[in-house]
Amino acid sequence: MATVNFSVPDEVRKAFNTTFQGQNKSAIIATLMREAVERAQRKQHAQEAAARILERRRIAPVITDAEFRSARENGRP
């Protein structure tokens, strides 16, 4: 297991220590770091998905409203 050292503002440290008094702070920090990594990865995946959608829209054929309506109506049973 690795050791991580970082600086935080005093008010954050005090609030953290007060909020998590009597708890395993190392475990809490590890959980918070995991959650932050997962959140950043989800955000990155969402951005990549949006970029793929926009790229597909950029190269998709353009159709008129009438063509779209016709395709919808003809495709219905």
CA distance 29 to 27: 5
The answer to whether 56 and 48 are in contact (CB under 8 A) is no
SS3 track for 24-60 = CHHHHHHHHHHHHHHHHHHHHHHHHHHHHHHHHHHHC
Instruction: State the residue for tokens 């309506």.
Output: 69
pTM of this structure: 0.69
| Model pLDDT for residues 21-58, shown as the tens digit of each residue | 999 999 999 999 999 999 999 999 999 999 999 999 99
Judge whether residue 61 has pLDDT over 80: yes
Residues 6+ apart with CB under 8 A from 8: 16
